[in-house]
């Protein structure tokens, strides 16, 4: 499963404000709620070995009817009754071995009473005939209406976490896997896709029928049904069909968005050492899909938001999403985590394989930068929201576990393990793990044992600290040079506060020293104490040094190196993360020379990611020279991703120079992403020109309403009361889809005294488009209107989707916290911004006085050649 962070953008930059929240005031870990408990699998007296769905789909009535016939075996002695998971299904008949039996329908399950007790080892056949009408979850009917007449007609299912039971009676736990087939009847013209191979089809008359069969063992949450009047693009990988389904007219976009699938199939099959294990691989572009993608076995559902034209390929790619869902076919589908507590074995792996594909496709620098950004995403969750172990059985709903800890941190832990064990052992251990458990279920210990066996290492401490505990080493380093003895003194401290969740870490890494002749000396380091000092004989004083070569350790690092060393590293380091690290430290001091070095990187670095980060660092310095350089470079830079970051950086300034540069980009830039960032930052500059300009920008048509969405964010930051009507209009059902979430989000801060806005947001909690509900809950929490508490909590209890449930309960908790906070705290952030602004102005004035007193003028860096900017 993949969230839509890349497509919708994640507002992480603001989250690091209040520091880590390990526990709530009630003492409950902040990632869950007071009613959380340790989750265990249920005892199941019978176990399915095959399930066979025979269904008919009525799209007009939003109805699915038919039967599920399950072959089962008895696991315990003397079974007189057992349950099957089913919610809101009208059960017409239950048969055991073709004879109707008694049953009782409960809220979440149906109990089946056997006529005669069955003994352990006996087998039988269960057939449940049922109708599912206007379901609350599990299966979704997407249809045009008067507000969205162009919306396509589609039906798609979403089983994860435990919603399969809303559309067919089943044994709905990830650990219960069996073979499967589905015969499905749909209205003529609709193509129905499910798991496995298409065994037969009949297209003729008023209904078309498709029979899908899967010999692979699959859990209920990975059973899929999609139906639409799709166009089909067919490719091939080693003789297996690779299919993309999309709405007619979007074939070119689908081919572009999913087109690297055969290349990924080849790479993953080789790396993993097990060929792609299913009959075919289909990706269906689903409209208004609730997530980025869902890895249903051999038939992944992808959001159609990811389909894009060639013109924006430089800014946006579906490759991460496609690689992620494909990787799940091994990690999640071939082997499945026994309970959601071990969800990282699915999601950490799928996220890690995004890195693996990037290495092959785009090379080292792109992958290092991607990994660096993934680390920031995880750190933001850890610092801003909560800290937890990656594996925890303690939660109230599985919707609470799908966070940055299991995706990003999980992937980074795998990268760390790979570097620790070496390429060969890592992939061999992984292959053994998959081979031993294929078709089955796994827990973290299975993965650990496979690697211990291959590597000969004991990995208990590794898994304990990185997976079963939370946090990471928060490091402080120091370096001193003893010239007389030619000795470097390197001191390393772990300054994280130790707790039940956060341990003292033990890890292996390397420190590297570089000298005048650019020849490095590298030394291994084992850190296992709170504070350690390493005395290292060196041939001369190094010009710069680097800790954690290859950036394998998940960590934060504070190291007050002399500016000379940082500048040297910035110009010479071949590791782009090393450069970014040096830039971050230089921007903190923001000395004249430091800013000059950042400008040099912005204009000349060969890798676009370094230029992009240089722009953001320059924004943080808030210096006049930086502003000038950013404004000039915005018109010269060839790579749109860098121009987009420059626009983001310009939002840190309140001067007209920034506003003018942004208006120019909003009007003229050829990238919609740069234009979007310009609109957002223009609002942040608070320029008097901004309101009219942004109001007009709302009418610009762009892919997925991207510019409109970003413009709403700009208007939100602008804090002009005239924007309120625009938000209200943009948030309504019927407004352009891509702008609705940011418009709803803005209502969290506007018209706070107006009751009708609270009411509109309360209505949005029931919006047919599920993601709008998340934005509404969040906005209501920020409005500090106590009257909204009831409706947020009511929606949390009412809604089925575990992800929204968790988000809504968190929003309610935040609203309560906000109500308790004194007003001074609420305005603290604003005052801080003002102080930073004044501080910067004072610094600039000081600089001007120094310049007048004879300091040489600041070097602006040379103009980059087109060749420099080509990457």
Q: Which is nearer to Zn ion, 2 or 847 (CB)?
A: 2
Closer to Zn ion by CB, 347 or 365: give it: 347
The answer to whether residue 1 forms part of the interface with Zn ion (CB under 5 A) is yes
Position 630 contacts Zn ion (CB under 5 A): no
List all residues 6 or more positions away from 326 whose beta carbon is below 8 Å from its beta carbon: 261, 264, 265, 268, 281, 295, 300, 353
- DSSP-derived letter for residue 170 is B
Kindly state whether residue 216 participates in binding Zn ion, applying the rule CB under 5 A: no
| CA proximity to 566, closest of 589, 540, 532 | 589
DSSP annotation of 385 reads T
> Cβ of residue 351: shortest distance to Zn ion, in angstroms?
7
Of the two residues 2 and 455, which places its CB atom closer to Zn ion in the complex?
2
CA 431 to CA 429: how far, in whole Å?
Answer: 5
Closest distance of CB 374 from Zn ion, Å? 14
Measured in degrees and rounded to the nearest 5, phi and psi for residue 115 equal: -70, -35
Residue 83's contacts (CB-CB under 8 Å, 6 or more residues apart) are 106, 109, 110, 111, 112
In the complex with Zn ion, the residue whose CB is nearer, 373 or 464, is: 373
- Helix or strand run (H / E) with residue 132: strand 123-133
Q: Which is nearer to Zn ion, 162 or 347 (CB)?
A: 347
Of the pair 158, 509, the CB lying nearest Zn ion is at: 158
Find the shortest distance in angstroms from Cβ 801 to Zn ion.
16
Q: In this complex, which beta carbon is closest to Zn ion, that of residue 296 or of residue 623? A: 296
Distance in Å, CB of 409 to Zn ion, minimum: 14
> Closer to Zn ion at the Cβ: 167 or 407?
407
What's the min distance (Å) between Cβ of 296 and Zn ion?
12
Query: If we measure between CA atoms, which residue out of 605, 630, 721 comes closest to residue 681?
Result: 630
What is the end-to-end Cα distance of the chain in Å, rounded? 31
Residues in 807-846 that interact with Zn ion by CB under 5 A: none
Least CB distance to Zn ion at residue 286 (A): 16
Query: Smallest distance, Å, CB 347 to Zn ion?
Result: 5
Q: Does 294 bind Zn ion (CB under 5 A)?
A: no
Instruction: State which residue, 210 or 268, has the beta carbon closest to Zn ion.
Output: 268
Task: Quote the CA–CA distance of 805 and 298 in Å, as a whole number.
Answer: 29
Closest CB 481 distance from Zn ion, rounded Å = 48
- Nearest approach, Cβ of 2 to Zn ion (angstroms)? 5
> Strand, helix or coil at 55?
strand
Shorter beta-carbon distance to Zn ion: residue 4 or 775: 4
Tell me: does residue 290 bind Zn ion (CB under 5 A): no
CB 788, min distance to Zn ion, A? 32
Bridge partners (DSSP) listed for residue 335? 331
For residue 29, cis peptide bond before it (omega within 30 degrees of 0): no
Closest approach, Cβ 328 to Zn ion, in A, equals 6
Q: Which is nearer to Zn ion, 300 or 569 (CB)?
A: 300
Specify the residue, 350 or 514, whose C-beta has the smaller distance to Zn ion.
Answer: 350
User: Does residue 55 belong to the site contacting Zn ion (CB under 5 A)?
Assistant: no
Q: How many CB atoms lie within 10 A of CB 849?
A: 10
Residues with Cβ within 8 Å of 150's Cβ and at least 6 positions away in sequence, in order, are 144
Smallest distance, Zn ion to C-beta of residue 404, A:
13
Give the C-alpha separation, 53 to 575, whole Å.
54
Binding window for Zn ion (CB under 5 A); candidates: 2-10, 177-185, 665-673, 861-869: 2-10
Nearest distance, CB of residue 436 and Zn ion, angstroms: 22
Residue 250 to residue 231: CA distance in whole angstroms: 8
Q: How many residues bind Zn ion (CB under 5 A)?
A: 4
Min separation Cβ 616 and Zn ion, Å: 28
CB nearer to Zn ion: pick between 333 and 605? 333
Task: Evaluate whether 237 touches 280 at the Cβ level (below 8 Å).
Answer: no
Side by side, which strands form the sheet with 109-118?
Answer: 79-85, 109-118, 103-105
Q: Which is nearer to Zn ion, 88 or 325 (CB)?
A: 325
Q: Which of residues 330-349 bind Zn ion (CB under 5 A)?
A: 347
Q: What angle do CA 483, 488, 491 make, to 5 degrees?
A: 140
Give 273's strand partners: none
Helix H segments across 385-442? 410-421, 423-437
Least Å distance, CB 1 to Zn ion, is 4
Q: Name which of 636, 638, 637, 628 is nearest 660 in CA terms.
A: 628
350 part of the interface to Zn ion, by CB under 5 A: yes
| Binding of Zn ion by 414 (CB under 5 A) | no
- 597 CB-near residues (< 8 Å, 6+ apart): 566, 567, 570, 571, 586
Strand pairing category for 103-105 and 109-118 = antiparallel
C-beta of 350 vs 595, nearer to Zn ion: 350
Of 169, 285, 151, 278, give the one whose Cα is nearest residue 226.
Answer: 285
Asked if 12 and 5 count as a contact pair (C-beta separation under 8 A), the reply is: no
Reduce the DSSP state of residue 259 to 3 states and report it.
coil
Buried b (16+ CB within 10 A) or exposed e, 819-835: eeeeeeeeeeeeeeeee
Instruction: Give min distance, CB of 395 to Zn ion, in A.
Output: 18
What span, in angstroms and rounded, lies between the C-alpha atoms of 106 and 677? 52
Answer whether the bond into residue 504 is a cis peptide, omega within 30°.
Answer: no
Shortest distance in whole angstroms from residue 295 CB to Zn ion: 6
Quick check: 779 binds Zn ion (CB under 5 A)? Answer: no
Instruction: Check binding of 663 to Zn ion (CB under 5 A).
Output: no
Beta-bridge mates of residue 110: 84, 105
CB-based burial label for 862 (10 Å; 0-12, 13-18, 19+): exposed
CB of residue 463 vs Zn ion: minimum separation in angstroms?
A: 21
| Greatest C-alpha distance within the chain | 101
Under 8 Å between Cβ of 843 and 590: yes
Cα separation of 287 and 306, whole Å? 10
Closer to Zn ion by Cβ: residue 341 or 681: 341
Residue closer to Zn ion by CB (options 350, 632) is 350
Q: Pick between residue 444 and residue 621 the one whose CB is nearest to Zn ion.
A: 444
Which residues, 6+ apart, have CB-to-CB distance to 588 below 8 Å?
none
For 491, what's the count of Cα atoms within 13 Å in the CB-facing half-sphere? Answer: 10
Which one of the spans 135-143, 350-358, 520-528, 647-655 is the region binding Zn ion (CB under 5 A)? 350-358
Binding of residue 666 to Zn ion (CB under 5 A): no
Binding site for Zn ion (CB under 5 A): 1-2, 347, 350
């Amino acid at each position: 499963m993949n969230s839509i962070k890349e497509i919708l953008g994640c507002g992480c930059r603001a989250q690091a404000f209040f520091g880590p929240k390990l526990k709530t005031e009630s003492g409950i870990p902040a990632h869950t709620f007071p009613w959380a408990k340790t989750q265990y699998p249920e005892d199941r007296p019978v176990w399915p070995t095959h399930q066979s769905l025979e269904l008919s789909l009525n799209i007009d009535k939003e109805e699915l009817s038919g039967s599920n016939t399950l072959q089962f075996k008895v696991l315990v002695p003397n079974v007189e009754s057992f349950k099957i998971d089913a919610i809101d299904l009208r059960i017409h008949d239950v048969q055991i071995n073709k004879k109707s039996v008694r049953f009782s329908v409960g809220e979440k399950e149906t109990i089946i009473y056997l006529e005669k007790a069955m003994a352990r080892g006996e087998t039988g056949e269960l057939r449940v005939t049922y109708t599912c009408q206007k379901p609350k979850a599990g299966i979704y009917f997407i249809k045009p209406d008067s507000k969205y007449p162009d919306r396509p007609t589609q039906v798609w299912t979403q089983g994860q976490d435990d919603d399969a039971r809303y559309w067919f009676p089943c044994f709905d736990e990830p650990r219960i896997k069996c073979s499967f087939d589905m015969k499905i009847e749909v209205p003529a013209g609709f193509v129905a896709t499910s798991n496995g191979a298409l065994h037969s089809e009949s297209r003729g008359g008023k209904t078309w029928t498709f029979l899908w069969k899967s010999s692979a063992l699959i859990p209920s949450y990975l059973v899929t049904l999609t139906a639409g009047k799709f166009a089909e693009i067919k490719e091939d990988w080693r003789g297996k069909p690779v299919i993309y389904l999309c709405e007619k007219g979007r074939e070119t976009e689908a081919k572009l968005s999913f087109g690297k699938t055969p290349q990924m199939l080849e790479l993953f099959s080789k790396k993993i050492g097990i060929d792609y294990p299913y009959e075919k691989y289909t990706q269906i572009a689903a409209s208004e899909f609730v997530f980025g993608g869902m890895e249903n076995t051999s038939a992944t559902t992808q959001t159609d938001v990811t389909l894009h034209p060639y013109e924006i390929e430089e800014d946006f790619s579906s490759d991460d999403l496609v690689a992620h869902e494909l990787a799940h076919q091994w990690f999640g589908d071939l082997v499945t985590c026994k309970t959601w507590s071990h969800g990282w074995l699915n999601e950490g792996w799928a996220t890690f394989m995004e890195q693996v594909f990037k290495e092959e496709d785009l090379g080292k620098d792109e992958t290092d930068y991607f990994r660096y950004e993934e680390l920031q995403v995880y750190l933001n969750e850890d610092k801003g929201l909560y800290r937890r172990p990656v594996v925890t059985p303690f939660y109230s709903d599985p919707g609470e576990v799908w966070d940055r800890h299991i995706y990003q941190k999980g992937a980074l832990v795998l990268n760390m393990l790979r570097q620790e064990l070496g390429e060969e052992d890592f992939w061999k251990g992984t292959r053994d793990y998959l081979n031993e458990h294929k078709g089955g279920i796994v827990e973290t210990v299975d993965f650990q044992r496979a690697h211990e066996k291959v590597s000969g290492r004991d990995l208990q401490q590794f898994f304990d600290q990185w997976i079963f505990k939370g946090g990471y080493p928060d490091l402080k380093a120091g370096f001193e040079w003893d010239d007389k003895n030619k000795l470097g003194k390197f001191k390393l401290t772990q300054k994280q506060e130790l707790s039940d969740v956060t341990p003292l870490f033990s890890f292996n890494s390397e420190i590297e020293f570089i000298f005048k002749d650019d020849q490095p000396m590298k030394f291994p380091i084992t850190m296992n104490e709170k504070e350690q000092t390493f005395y290292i004989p060196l041939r001369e004083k190094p010009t710069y040094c680097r800790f954690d070569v290859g950036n394998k350790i998940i960590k934060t690092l504070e190291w007050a190196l002399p500016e000379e060393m940082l500048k040297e590293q910035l110009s010479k380091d071949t590791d782009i993360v090393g450069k970014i690290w040096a830039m971050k430290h230089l921007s903190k001091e923001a000395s004249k020379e430091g800013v000059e070095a950042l400008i040099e990187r912005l204009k000349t670095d060969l890798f676009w990611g370094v230029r992009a980060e240089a722009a953001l660092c320059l924004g943080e310095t808030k210096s006049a020279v930086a502003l000038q350089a950013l404004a000039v470079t915005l018109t010269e830079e060839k790579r749109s991703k860098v121009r987009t970051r420059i626009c983001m950086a310009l939002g840190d300034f309140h001067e007209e120079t920034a506003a003018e540069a942004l208006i120019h980009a909003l009007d003229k830039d050829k990238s919609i992403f740069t234009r979007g960032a310009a609109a957002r930052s223009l609002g942040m500059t608070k320029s008097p020109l901004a309101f009219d300009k942004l109001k007009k920008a709302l009418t610009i048509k762009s892919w997925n309403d991207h510019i409109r969405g970003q413009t709403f964010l700009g208007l939100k930051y602008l804090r002009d009361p005239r924007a309120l009507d625009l938000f209200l209009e943009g948030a309504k059902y019927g407004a352009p889809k891509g702008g609705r979430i940011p418009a709803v989000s803005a209502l969290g801060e506007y018209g706070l005294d107006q009751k009708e806005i609270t009411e509109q947001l309360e209505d949005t909690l029931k919006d047919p488009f599920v993601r709008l509900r998340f934005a509404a809950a969040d906005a209501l929490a920020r409005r500090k209107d106590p009257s909204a508490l009831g409706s947020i909590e009511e929606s949390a209890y009412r809604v089925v989707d575990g992800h929204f449930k968790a988000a809504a309960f968190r929003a309610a908790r935040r609203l309560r916290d906000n109500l308790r906070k004194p007003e001074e705290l609420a305005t603290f952030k604003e005052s801080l911004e003002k102080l930073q602004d004044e501080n910067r102005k004072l610094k600039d004035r000081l600089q001007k006085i120094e310049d007048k007193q004879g300091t040489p003028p600041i070097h602006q860096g040379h103009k980059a050649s087109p060749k420099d900017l080509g990457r």
